[in-house]
Amino acid sequence: MPSKVVIVGAGFGGIAAAIELQRHGITDITILERAPEPGGTWFHNTYPGAACDVPSHLYSFSYAQRRDWSRLCSPQQEILDYLNGVARDHGVDRLVAGSSTVTSCSWDDEARRWTVTTAEGASREADALVLATGQLHQPSFPRIEGADRFAGHTFHSALWDHDYDLRGKRVAVIGTGASAVQFVPVVAEQAERLTVFQRTGNWFVPRKNRAYPRGLKAIIKRVPGVQAARRMYMFFYCELLTQAIRHPNTLGRLLGWRSAAFMRWQLRDPELRRKVWPDYTFGCKRVLFSSDFFPALARPDVDLVTDDITEIREEGVVTADGRLHEADCLIYGTGFRTNDFMFPMEITGSQGRDLRDEWAGGAHAHLGMTVPGFPSMFVMYGPNTNTSGGSIIFYLELQARYLRQALQQLDARGADAIEVRREVEAASDREVQSRFAGTAWIRCDSWYRDDSGRIVANWPGSMREYEEKTRELDPAHYEFIGAQLDHG
Ligand code: NAP
């Protein structure tokens, strides 16, 4: 077995990989984490109302199911506590080196090893490298003229300033994505006046997410099979959503009607309805789950502005109609630099090849994990593995299993490194891209696509399909560098 593994990132992905490897006898593992503590997105995103909109019975590891979740979709702290608890129970919490910002990972063709360097000046050698930084970890600030001139207070939803008191303030929020729809209702309660800037409307489905009543909690906890049945039900519900995105003219239309009916019912004011109504196919961008966002927009002390933002001045935000919307605080709910993946880290593979060059035409990896020219490197939640209708934890478990198999295969051959064959990766990339044809994903622009329009974030199929593709690593897809035995 490779003696040393370095994992970058201690979110769900990094923890999943460490547990899987450790269970199978690979114990020399270090998890380098930029934040002082593990948790990844659930450590950073502490904005008010932060919760997962995937139900917790599904948004959790299959081997660490819980029966005592407080509600359908757990809030941020509960998920963070869960992840830390699982890491502790499996003894991988002690592998995490916090406050370690990886700046470069470099493969040495001679030594057949990775060297991983951090901004803090540390350097580690590794036989295998797992990049588990995910897609949603670098806050994106839009380039708006004058943004740095704003005289009030500013922060991003992923860097929430809890010391800043929003009470009595005029607050402006830019963005109406999955994060904003969670914090806007809370901010609306606190701010004196709230202005929400929306660039594109979204499709919504209901989500109330009240704490479970005591009776239901007791049933889930005590009645055998209830928790497992709920997980299974949620799994198939999510698969249905994916199928709706895959088939926008049939199932997608049905779910779109369901969404439209809910939105019409919530949006009684025709002017507000007109402003928020999406102008693209259901499922093209992420469908949002909220029953309290529209009621918040309908409040008399909340304004929804849909005119384009042209400039930010000292006093506030200027829109294309020439209006200045004065604000004391400006909150960016503008998402993440998803296409950057692990960059700005420098990743140098075989023969000094830069991963940026390899991905110049768009990020690509076999099953989202392995890249030709980058031996014994595995990406978790890499290109084309995001889900629009499922649980990313499900995918991460599968990826952990697959990379563990890769290292076992390597060991069985007495090889030094494993590298995906270029023609195999190219063929699987072509197949993935071809599967977007006819789906809702290609009917609008979204953060799933790169500048050229290629979808680099999402998996084009169901969770079940990804499970099938990753269940058994096919050794014929890989080259075993320095192999002692030829297993064919
Ligand atoms: P997001 O979905 O990318 O939303 C960003 C918002 O900012 C969009 O409304 C976008 O408008 C707007 N925006 C960006 N640049 C702008 C500009 N220059 N001017 C005006 N508006 C601008 O980001 P997010 O809400 O942080 O969510 C990111 C992802 O994180 C989600 O899609 C989801 O996968 C994940 N997430 C999950 C949960 C959960 O409960 N599971 C919760 C939060 C986040 P356009 O739509 O026009 O681009």
pLDDT tens digits, one per residue of 215-225: 999 999 999 99
My answer on whether 54 and 190 are in the same domain is: no
Residue 197 lies in a domain: yes
480 burial (CB, 10 Å; 0-12 / 13-18 / 19+) is buried
* Band of pLDDT at residue 79, cut at 50, 70 and 90: very high
Q: Which residues contact 402 (CB under 8 A, 6 or more apart)?
A: 367, 369, 470, 473
Centre of ligand 1 from the C-alpha of residue 340, in Å: 15
Cα distances (angstroms) measured from residue 416 to each of 73, 110, 346, 376: 44, 11, 23, 9
Write the pLDDT tens digit of every residue in 468-483.
Answer: 999 999 999 999 999 9
Question: Is the per-residue pLDDT at 306 higher than 90?
Answer: yes
Write the pLDDT tens digit of every residue in 395-437.
Answer: 999 999 999 999 999 999 999 999 999 999 999 999 999 999 9
Residue 270 lies in a domain: no
Residue 294 lies in a domain: yes
Quote the tokens at residue 414: 């007495």
C-alpha to C-alpha distance for 141 and 82, rounded to whole angstroms: 30
My answer on whether 465 and 436 are in the same domain is: yes
Domain that holds residue 416: 5-138+338-481
Question: Is the per-residue pLDDT at 487 higher than 70?
Answer: no
191 burial (CB, 10 Å; 0-12 / 13-18 / 19+) is buried
Centre of ligand 1 from the C-alpha of residue 332, in Å: 10
State the pLDDT at residue 208: 86
Residue 268 lies in a domain: no
* Band of pLDDT at residue 486, cut at 50, 70 and 90: low
Pocket test for ligand 1, best of 136, 332, 387, 441 (most atoms within 8 A of CB): 136
CATH of the domain at 128: 3.50.50.60
Question: Is the per-residue pLDDT at 283 higher than 80?
Answer: yes
Closest atom of ligand 1 to CA, residue 335? 23
Closest atom of ligand 1 to CA, residue 52? 40
Mean pLDDT value across residues 28-55? 97
C-alpha to C-alpha distance for 208 and 293, rounded to whole angstroms: 11
Question: Is the per-residue pLDDT at 295 higher than 60?
Answer: yes
| Mean pLDDT, rounded, of the chain | 96
My answer on whether 20 and 119 are in the same domain is: yes
State the pLDDT at residue 488: 46
State the pLDDT at residue 3: 80
Residue 231 lies in a domain: no
The angle at the Cα of 123, spanning 118 to 129, to the nearest 5 degrees, equals: 85
Percent of the chain past pLDDT 90, that is, above it, reads: 97
Overall domain count for the chain: 2
My answer on whether 425 and 307 are in the same domain is: no
End position of a domain, from candidates 300, 332, 364: 332
Centre of ligand 1 from the C-alpha of residue 11, in Å: 20
My answer on whether 74 and 169 are in the same domain is: no
Residue 239 lies in a domain: no
My answer on whether 342 and 299 are in the same domain is: no
End position of a domain, from candidates 274, 302, 332: 332
My answer on whether 27 and 134 are in the same domain is: yes
Question: Is the per-residue pLDDT at 185 higher than 80?
Answer: yes
Mean pLDDT value across residues 299-318? 98
Mean pLDDT value across residues 374-387? 98
My answer on whether 70 and 171 are in the same domain is: no
Residue 454 lies in a domain: yes
My answer on whether 371 and 437 are in the same domain is: yes
* Band of pLDDT at residue 439, cut at 50, 70 and 90: very high
Protein residue whose Cα sits closest to atom 4 of ligand 1: 177
Count other C-beta atoms under 10 Å from residue 319's C-beta.
Answer: 17
My answer on whether 357 and 307 are in the same domain is: no
End position of a domain, from candidates 332, 361, 392: 332
Residue 259 lies in a domain: no
Protein residue whose Cα sits closest to atom 43 of ligand 1: 179
My answer on whether 326 and 358 are in the same domain is: no
Mean pLDDT value across residues 203-210? 93
Q: What is the pTM of this model?
A: 0.97
- Ligand 1 site residues (CB inside 6 A) read 51-54, 136, 142, 157, 174-180, 197, 199-200, 286, 309, 333-336, 447
Write the pLDDT tens digit of every residue in 328-343.
Answer: 999 999 999 999 999 9
My answer on whether 126 and 10 are in the same domain is: yes
Closest atom of ligand 1 to CA, residue 181? 25
